[in-house]
């Protein structure tokens, strides 16, 4: 674990990134310390939070019996046209909080008995999260931290999280940059995402669980199957098998439904069918990636 002294140095380095923002790969260059101009993620100096609660629907090692302590951050560094949380990610639903208030929320989740604190869409607020963590630790916070992200990350920012994040929970959304650009306005998503996954794996390795089956450390990949093969499952599974580990845990998600702007994109304006999900599962197994979870097909 990183010491409080080291954490303070990381906080200072992280706030430096906000001066001409390069917290994520977009590198907007706006000064978020002054809040006068917002970047792509529409976020300023203070964290904005939409909800804080124990969550029982995450992967079993995260939710366990007492729930995963989710903190949903408002705004996002992606613009997925199918976002299922668009009121939070794109429309700004949430309330601005201080880092001190965020620290209190972490402590409250610990008091509720949650197994971990699950930072949902945290990327654009990493400096503020680190500052809150420093405050929470001084008051006894000691739960594992889950970094639950779309996977569009900068290596510099991830480096500041080394030894601080216990469980990385990134999406691998696309195997193809054209799709990433078209549906999420994310230039070079594949390169940024794969580099991020390599770094996360270097930091925490494969999933480790305690004797109750609760995650204590490691990497879990989420892959949402999109209609028409647009999520690039073959390329993603090949990358994981060849460059990460055949033991990596993968959550293969069937829950896609049309939302937000999908009426403007006919090819994704439907749910996936059972055959599409089965094909994604078969690809995963073909590459020897046996660990993880499947969802009931709805
Ligand atoms: S965190 Fe926001 S402002 Fe900073 S580079 Fe990313 S999108 Fe731009």
For a mutational test of ligand 1's pocket, the pick from 28, 78, 154, 160, i.e. the residue with the most ligand atoms closer than 8 A to its C-beta, is: 28
- Indicate if ligand 1 lies below 6 Å from the C-beta of 43: yes
How far is 121 from 119, CA to CA, in rounded Å?
Answer: 6
Provide the whole-model pTM.
0.98
Q: What was the pLDDT predicted at 35? A: 81
Q: What was the pLDDT predicted at 298? A: 65
- What are the structure tokens assigned to 210, written together? 């305690």
For a mutational test of ligand 1's pocket, the pick from 77, 90, 128, 187, i.e. the residue with the most ligand atoms closer than 8 A to its C-beta, is: 77
Q: How far is CA 30 from CA 25, 34, 42, in A?
A: 13, 9, 11
Could you tell me if 234 and 175 are in contact, meaning their C-beta atoms sit under 8 angstroms apart?
A: yes
- Indicate if ligand 1 lies below 6 Å from the C-beta of 222: no
Q: What was the pLDDT predicted at 297? A: 72
Q: What was the pLDDT predicted at 36? A: 80
| Å from CA of 153 to ligand 1 middle | 10
Task: Output the residue whose Cα is nearest ligand 1's atom 4.
Answer: 21
| Å from CA of 85 to ligand 1 middle | 19
Element housing 202 (H / E): helix 189-204
- Indicate if ligand 1 lies below 6 Å from the C-beta of 141: no
- Indicate if ligand 1 lies below 6 Å from the C-beta of 23: yes
| Å from CA of 150 to ligand 1 middle | 14
Number of H helices, E strands in the chain: 10, 10
Q: For each of the domains in the chain, give its residue range(s) and CATH number, in order of start.
A: 46-294 (3.20.20.70)
| Å from CA of 123 to ligand 1 middle | 9
Residue 218 makes CB contacts below 8 A (sequence gap 6+) with 167, 168, 204, 205, 206, 207, 208, 249
- Indicate if ligand 1 lies below 6 Å from the C-beta of 21: yes
Instruction: Report residue 185 CA to chain centroid gap.
Output: 17
- What are the structure tokens assigned to 53, written together? 């609660």
Task: Output the residue whose Cα is nearest ligand 1's atom 5.
Answer: 27
Task: Please list the pLDDT of the chain residue by residue as tens digits (298 residues).
Answer: 899 999 999 999 999 999 999 999 999 999 999 988 899 999 999 999 999 999 999 999 999 999 999 999 999 999 999 999 999 999 999 999 999 999 999 999 999 999 999 999 999 999 999 999 999 999 999 999 999 999 999 999 999 999 999 999 999 999 999 999 999 999 999 999 999 999 999 999 999 999 999 999 999 999 999 999 999 999 999 999 999 999 999 999 999 999 999 999 999 999 999 999 999 999 999 999 999 999 987 6
Task: Output the residue whose Cα is nearest ligand 1's atom 1.
Answer: 124
- Indicate if ligand 1 lies below 6 Å from the C-beta of 40: yes
Task: Output the residue whose Cα is nearest ligand 1's atom 6.
Answer: 24
Reduced to 3 states (helix: H, G, I; strand: E, B; else coil), residue 22 is: coil
| Ligand 1 atom closest to residue 22's alpha carbon, by position in its atom list | 5
User: What is the crossing angle of helices 126-138 and 4-19, to 10°?
Assistant: 160
- DSSP bridge pairs for 171: 222
For a mutational test of ligand 1's pocket, the pick from 14, 17, 18, 26, i.e. the residue with the most ligand atoms closer than 8 A to its C-beta, is: 26
């Amino acid at each position: 674990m990183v010491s409080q002294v080291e954490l303070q140095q990381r906080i200072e380095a992280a706030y430096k990134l906000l001066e001409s923002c390069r917290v994520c790969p977009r590198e907007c260059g706006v000064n978020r310390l002054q809040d006068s101009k917002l970047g792509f993620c529409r976020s300023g100096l203070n964290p904005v939070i939409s909800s804080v609660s124990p969550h029982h629907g995450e992967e079993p090692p995260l939710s366990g019996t007492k729930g995963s302590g989710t903190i949903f951050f408002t705004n996002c560094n992606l613009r997925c046209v199918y976002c299922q949380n668009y009121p939070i990610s794109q429309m700004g639903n949430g309330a601005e909080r201080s880092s001190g208030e965020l620290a209190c929320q972490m402590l409250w989740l610990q008091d509720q008995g949650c197994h971990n604190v699950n930072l949902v869409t945290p990327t654009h607020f990493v400096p503020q999260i680190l500052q809150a963590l420093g405050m929470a630790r001084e008051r006894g916070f000691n739960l594992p931290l889950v970094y639950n992200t779309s996977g569009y990350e900068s290596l510099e920012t991830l480096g500041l999280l080394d030894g601080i994040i216990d469980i990385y929970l990134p999406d691998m959304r696309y195997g193809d940059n054209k799709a990433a650009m078209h549906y999420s306005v994310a230039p070079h998503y594949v390169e940024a995402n794969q580099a991020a996954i390599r770094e996360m794996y270097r930091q925490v390795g494969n999933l480790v669980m305690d004797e109750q089956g609760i995650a204590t450390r490691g990497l879990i990949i989420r892959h949402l199957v999109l209609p028409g093969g647009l999520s690039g499952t073959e390329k993603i599974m090949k990358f994981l098998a060849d460059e990460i580990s055949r033991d990596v845990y993968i959550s293969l998600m069937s829950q896609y439904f049309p939302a937000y702007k999908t009426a403007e994109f006919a090819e994704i304006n439907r749910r996936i069918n059972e055959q599409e999900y089965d094909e994604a599962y078969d690809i995963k197994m073909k590459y020897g990636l046996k660990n993880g979870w499947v969802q009931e097909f709805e």
